[in-house]
Chain A
Amino acid sequence: EAQVTQNPRYLITVTGKKLTVTCSQNMNHEYMSWYRQDPGLGLRQIYYSMNVEVTDKGDVPEGYKVSRKEKRNFPLILESPSPNQTSLYFCASSFTMHTEAFFGQGTRLTVV
């Protein structure tokens, strides 16, 4: 089954404690991206990757890092989480940014 898998689905953490949210896709897609969803603001792109070892900032990259060492995986790293990073995070993949993006189930992150 074609899917994008994010883990964990829910996470509560404390300020400053490094965390990683994993994302994996099984569709051989080249384009992957991370979004955060906040009430009234819709989906805002954090980082995107056009292919392996090619990543670039989206609209709200501050406080986040990503890596794309393999085509299928695109982890999101918060080196020192802060409360303003409390949000719902989605990973998505597609053949290109112009074609249908398949989204993961989301990760609800709370930073206290």
Chain B
Amino acid sequence: GQQLNQSPQSMFIQEGEDVSMNCTSSSIFNTWLWYKQDPGEGPVLLIALYKAGELTSNGRLTAQFGITRKDSFLNISASIPSDVGIYFCAGANDYKLSFGAGTTVTVRA
């Protein structure tokens, strides 16, 4: 299957910090999607990107579709406690939707 390398695997945040995570792949994708999963729930879409170079914001979230179509990043600005959870990138081409392994965001004690 197509491999998406998502990093970091986990991170600790302090309220107010900006955080970044990214996904890279050896495959080209037509669409990049970012999801968040809260404990005990299914993933929920945060941002969808459909065009190479596209930069899209959703509140405190900003994501970009890489020019090469092989990568994408997600930034969260001024993090708050409810930002904790698992963030997944997903890439879609003509036939499949593939997910990264996830970035687990935890609040730093």
Contacts and interface: CB of A to CB of B under 8 A. Distances in A.
A111 interface: no
B23 to A, nearest CB: 11
B1 A59 contact: yes
A74 interface: no
- Using C-beta atoms within 8 Å of the partner chain, give the interface range for chain B: 20 to 34
Contact of A103 (B9, B42, B50, B96): B42
Interface of B: 1-2, 6, 9, 30-31, 33, 40-45, 48, 50, 88, 90, 92, 95-102
Contacts of B90: 43
Interface of A: 4, 33, 35, 40-45, 48, 56, 58-60, 90, 92, 97-101, 103-106
Contact of B45 (A35, A48, A101): A101
Nearest to B102: A42
Contact of B1 (A33, A44, A92): A44
